[in-house]
Amino acid sequence: MSREDLKGRSALVTGAGVRVGRAIALSLASAGMRVAVHTRSSLPQAAAVVSEIERCGGTARAYVADFEQPGSEARLAEEVLGDFGGCDLLVNNASIWPRGPIGSVRPEDLDRVLAINLRAPFLLGLSLGRAMKTRGGGAIVNLLDWSMERPYADQVPYAISKAGLAAATLGLARALAPEVRVNGIAPGPVLLADDMTPEAIDAVVRAVPLGRVGDPSDVADAVLYLAGASYVTGTILNVDGGRPLL
């Protein structure tokens, strides 16, 4: 599936009602793809994304699934395959990123992060990846994080989940080849927290060689590239302004 082949194809974007997921869904729709817009709890926002796509002449549909619940990913895959007649691109974007001192992490906290950030995207990749192989092709893009290799002290469970998803990305790339390509994107600072002080924001910017915080469109552009890069698989693309260089 090359960039020219995206028009008329179908994509599922998880966590697509807000933030980076929204930008990805709109970008894929602008490339001519039919988009399944998944959300866990932001149905009004997901419906707004669908409406925006439809106003521009595209095709989209909203889906609700709580990945904390076992089996939800299988039901979502079945619904999307039934409604769209297949799935050519899966973008695993949905994620939670709880913060807190490492000493406050409870077993159930870790279970929740792993269920949403690792179990669900891996099982979705398996379900839809098999369907893609049967149809003769497709692509999966997993959203990771640059901090999975340099975890923040107050987000260790999050880093664990993203490191596991990176391993799943490489494993699925081997297991689903040659019909299905599987890649990852590791964003750096994009959409900083609303409660960050000007001083904290300035410190982040100074730590990025390109001198700015990333925009959701930067990640969406990377997804579009990987969706159409027919000779790229098993790759994790950093979209971080060069931050690891410093």
- pLDDT bin (cut points 50, 70, 90) of residue 65 is very high
Angle (CA) 150-154-157 rounded to 5° is 75
Query: 20-53 pLDDT, tens per residue?
Result: 999 999 999 999 999 999 999 989 999 999 999 9
Q: What is the mean pLDDT of residues 149-164?
A: 92
Please give the residue that has the higher pLDDT: either 112 or 152. Answer: 112
pLDDT for residue 95: 97
Spatial separation of the C-alpha atoms in residues 188 and 240, rounded to whole Å: 4
Structure tokens at 77: 């895959």
Sign of CA dihedral 41, 138, 120, 78: positive
Residue 191 reports pLDDT greater than 90: no
3-state SS assignment for residue 5: helix
Fold entry, domain 3-245: Rossmann fold (3.40.50)
Element (H, E) at 64: strand 60-64
Residue ranges covered by each domain of the chain = 3-245
Q: What is the mean pLDDT of residues 210-239?
A: 97
Q: Which of 152, 158, 225, 231 is catalytic?
A: 158
Percent of the chain scored above 70 by pLDDT?
A: 99
Spatial separation of the C-alpha atoms in residues 79 and 232, rounded to whole Å: 28
pLDDT for residue 195: 80
CA 200, 205, 208, 209: dihedral to nearest 10 degrees? Answer: -150
Residue 4 reports pLDDT greater than 80: no
Spatial separation of the C-alpha atoms in residues 233 and 182, rounded to whole Å: 5
Please give the residue that has the higher pLDDT: either 99 or 1. Answer: 99
Spatial separation of the C-alpha atoms in residues 180 and 182, rounded to whole Å: 7
Residue 1 reports pLDDT greater than 70: no
CA 223 to chain centre: 9
Put simply, whether the predicted model's pTM sits higher than 0.85 gets the answer yes
pLDDT for residue 168: 98
Backbone angles phi, psi at 91, to 5 degrees: -115, 105
Q: Which of 234, 117, 144 is nearest to 183 (CA)?
A: 234
Q: Is 152 known to be catalytic?
A: no
Which segment of 24-33, 140-149, 194-203, 229-238 scores lowest on mean pLDDT?
194-203
- pLDDT bin (cut points 50, 70, 90) of residue 14 is very high
Please give the residue that has the higher pLDDT: either 27 or 201. Answer: 27
pLDDT for residue 154: 85
Residue 179 reports pLDDT greater than 70: yes
pLDDT, averaged across the chain: 95
In the 8-state DSSP scheme, what is residue 204?
H
